[in-house]
Structure 1
Amino acid sequence: MNLAFAIDLFLQHLVNEEKSDKTVKAYGMCMNHFKAWLDSSWDEISDLEDVTQTVVRDFKSYLESKVVAKTKRHLAPTTVNHYLIALRSFLLFARSKGVVFKSEPVAGIKLKVIANQNQTKWLSNEEIAKISHVIELLKYAGEKRKALYKAIFAILVNCGLRVAEVADLKVIDILLDSGLLIVRSGKGDKYRHVPLGIKTRTILQAWLNHHGGVSPYLFYSQRDPQMTTRAIQHMMGRLSKLAKVKFTVHQLRHTFAKRVANESGQIEVVATVLGHSNIQTTRRYIEPSIQEVRKVIESVEFE
């Protein structure tokens, strides 16, 4: 089977399995990278059946020795594993479609063993305070604009919503009297309620006072009745620069989850508010992060 054709079939299979766009794109990048490497390193291989254990091991060695031009560093072990996992899924898919390999290549895929260290990053209380202060001092922003920034930031850091979930919120999803926020179509099309704290309710009420009812969506722009995820990311990026606090929108979700985990001590509570189906995904918030480990090490080291 032609390799390019097999890759197209594989990616279409992922789409049919209703994998997320992000997953399909990541697997596509990995497989196209594999094909490009194969074309340049193994000229004699044109068909998928010719991929052997030796080829797979050679690809792993290539990944481990590859230096990223931008950072001048080798690929992280987790990145190497992402490539290998994608390749293994692809080869297993090809075998299920009748491809008979001359030498079983899947057996040659050995993932790098990585110590279980929590790399999740979240913001400190001081950093959150800096960002909130910057919103108050936004130049050339009237009260409506400030109320908008406050409301979006509050939902991200006090409710832990994904940026797409924030963009999809409608006015009717904010139940201030009940102190609840409704996520109607979260990841995996899951419906859930998220409690609203008193401060967040106050912030949202202030924004609703400016909303004007011009759109059914909670957040809108001058051009569109629904604010895009890109626009929300741009707004948070502006706050990051002004506050000189480096963060991503998703790290605000991590920050919320970590605070809930610390306060409740119950992984089930965190999983519920985040909308996680697999509680193992939530475990990162009750395990010490690498930053927390670093602080302990620095506090006990000798001069």
Structure 2
Amino acid sequence: MSKLLIFDHDGAVDDLLSLMLLLTMDHIQLKAISITPADCYPENAIETTYKLLTLARKTDMQIGAGNYYGINAFPAEWRAKPKVLNALPSLINIDTSLQGQIKDSVDVLVHTIRSSDQPVTILLTGPCSNLVFAIEQDKSILQNIAEVIWMGGAVDVPGNVRTYNHDGSAEWNVFWDPVSSHKLLTYQLPLVLIPLDVTNMVPVSMGFLKILALQSDYPLSNLAGQFWATTIDTIPSYEYTYFMWDILAASYLGIPDAFVLEKVELEIQPNGHNSGQTFRKPGSGKWVQMATHVNKERFYQYVLQQLKR
């Protein structure tokens, strides 16, 4: 049976590469896409999303965009990346004039989950705000959520937030809206967390990009290579340190047995100098399945193989 999926992303390069990967999965039935205006300017991310759906001939997909802009903004230079993607040779001439009406993400989530004839899986590769707001609007949807997979948090490793008056313990998807992140754990959802602890194991290395380039006769591999090439100077400066954050989370849907999960009780700090910190808290009752290890060779092989489709 196909797995029904809602994909909520925040428009960065790795989010959009995750959409490419999802569109290659035969067992995934993508029901709706929701965009959080976090690591993007939403107009550009909506356009890139629609262009990728056009390439996949799935333009009847409902797309929603959130209207909440978080507590701690992503750096502006990161948010501008989808504008660059839309100008790439493979995408620049794709017509978006027939793009359907963009609805509010919360409404899209509530309607899609509530009307589904079977429980829905939700993949979050950005902040969790849209989902939390949807649950607050209609708590009955909790009964029709099969699983939430979230690329978020840094539990036993340092965070990747480097900003004024913060201790560096948080990961960006959690830090953008630490209040909603804190609330998410209280809903007792079946949650699989893909934190920095495991994404740190899978960098986007030059070696990987060279292998990908060898299969550039495949249009999807060619496009993915163009996307990743735009990340070379992104974090933290002119040094190659981009990771497969969201791609790894998306791949869990295709190769779950490549991951080692640990059932843990966690807490997320909603405010203060360590806002967004995700930490172990035995006795909290907030249980999640946290990925602690991935078979790296199998993961890279899976991504390369899917991008030949």
TM-score range, shorter chain: under 0.3
Higher RCO, Cα 8 Å, sep 6+: 2
TM-score by length of 1: 0.24
Larger helix percent: 1
* TM-score between both structures, scaled by the size of structure 2: 0.24
Instruction: Pick the structure with more strand per residue.
Output: 2
